[in-house]
Amino acid sequence: MKEFYHTTDRHGVSEINPDHKRMRELLDELVEAGDSDSPHPDVSLVHDGSGWALTVYSRGVVTFENLDRSDDRPRYLSDVPRREVLAMWIELSEGRIEQVNSRPWLRDEA
């Protein structure tokens, strides 16, 4: 059964089930844009069936949270290399939530 997920770029545009190449392009655009005046300082991928989301910021911070659980505080990692972010996006897009969650996430302020 196909997993459904979507990405949102720095301009707020969502794409349903982009392939790995497009995911890489979205992450590259984030790095290239840096701290520009874009409407959104991040790009994200949401696994629609579970509500889990990975949000990536230009400074290498990644947050992991469940959008369906308001009582569950976001987790974060700092200084995450782009290739690792892409690996996490692919895992989440395939519904491998435990794999993503197995990383050493922090829960304090980023």
Which pLDDT value is given to residue 68? 93
- Lowest model confidence (mean pLDDT) among 17-21, 45-49, 50-54, 67-71: 67-71
How sure is the predictor about 110, in pLDDT bands with cuts at 50, 70 and 90? very low
Q: Which residue(s) pair with 62 in the sheet? A: 56, 77
- Chain CA centroid to CA 8, Å: 9
Which pLDDT value is given to residue 38? 67
Task: Give dist(CA 62, CA 51) in Å, integer.
Answer: 16
pTM above 0.75, yes or no: yes
Task: Give dist(CA 62, CA 59) in Å, integer.
Answer: 9
Contact 11, 61 (CB under 8 A): no
pLDDT tens digits for range 31-53: 766 656 667 789 999 999 999 99
Domains in the chain with CATH codes: 5-101 (3.30.1490)
Residue 101 sits at φ, ψ, to 5 deg, of -70, -15
Q: Which residue(s) pair with 5 in the sheet? A: 47
